[in-house]
Amino acid sequence: MPESDADRIGELQAEVAQLREAVASHAVVDQAIGMMVALGRVTPQEGWEVLKDVSQHANIKLRNVAELILVWGRRGEIPADVGARLEDALDRYGPTQVPGSDPGSPAG
């Protein structure tokens, strides 16, 4: 049975929505990687690894980790468990601790 124009339009609208979401997600992740490069003094590849590491160990989607990191950059706030995992990951991949954190406490 041939596909109707209305069905095809619906499919294309759904595809466009998914592509928009993917582009937005990619931008958020790229910005968070940039923060890791600037603040954690790691390479972009290491910044990517840090985000993946935190995502896997905190069991949070990578995009959500990236969003939390961007909020941290704007407001200085990050959930304690995510901050601790971020500090651990930066210790593994980079040369320094999370900027602004107290050496004896997790991420701030």
pLDDT 10s per residue in the chain (108 long)?
A: 567 989 999 998 998 888 888 888 889 999 999 999 998 889 999 999 999 999 999 999 999 999 999 999 999 999 999 999 999 999 888 775 455 555 554 444
Record the pTM.
0.71
Closest CA to 36 of 56, 53, 23, 22: 53
Q: Is 100 exposed, middle or buried (0-12, 13-18, 19+ CB in 10 A)?
A: exposed
